[in-house]
Amino acid sequence: MAIFKQNQIEEITAVIEKIEKELKPNCEIGAREKLILRTILKTNKIEKAVKFFPCKREYSDTIVSHFVNEKGLIKNRFSSNTQTCIFLLF
């Protein structure tokens, strides 16, 4: 796992708090660019609601891992590494 400085930890914590406010049962989490994810969902005819949270690329893997390992969320199959948005799929 990456080593972060204090200000980076504060930024990560702020994003995690925003995501926790929007959590619902049976939602999936991942990291992907907005336009690409919307295109993938449309192509695969998946009509679930999606909520995006901006973050820095270097933080996306850490944030997704936190929710998968600590909160027990399912990592979405469309998730990718080092992306600028975290998404929740309801």
- Which tens digits make up the pLDDT trace of 27-40? 999 999 999 999 99
Residue 13: inside a domain:
no
Q: Is residue 65 part of a domain?
A: yes
Position 51 pLDDT exceeds 80: yes
What DSSP character marks residue 76? Answer: P
* pLDDT reported for residue 89: 94
Asked if 4 and 11 touch (Cβ cutoff 8 Å), the reply is no
| Per-residue model confidence as pLDDT tens digits over 60-90 | 999 999 999 998 999 999 999 999 999 999 9
Task: For Cα atoms 68, 25, 38, give the angle at the middle one, nearest 5 degrees.
Answer: 75
**What domain count does the chain have?**
1
Q: Is residue 8 part of a domain?
A: no
List the domain range (segments joined by +) for residue 65: 27-89
* Contact between 19 and 86 (Cβ < 8 Å): yes
pLDDT in the model for residue 1 = 56
In a domain, 11, yes or no: no
In a domain, 38, yes or no: yes
Q: Is 85 helix (H, G, I), strand (E, B) or coil?
A: strand
Average pLDDT over residues 4-31: 93
DSSP secondary structure code for residue 43 in this structure: H
Looking at the domain assignment, is residue 16 inside a domain?
A: no
What's residue 7's pLDDT? 93
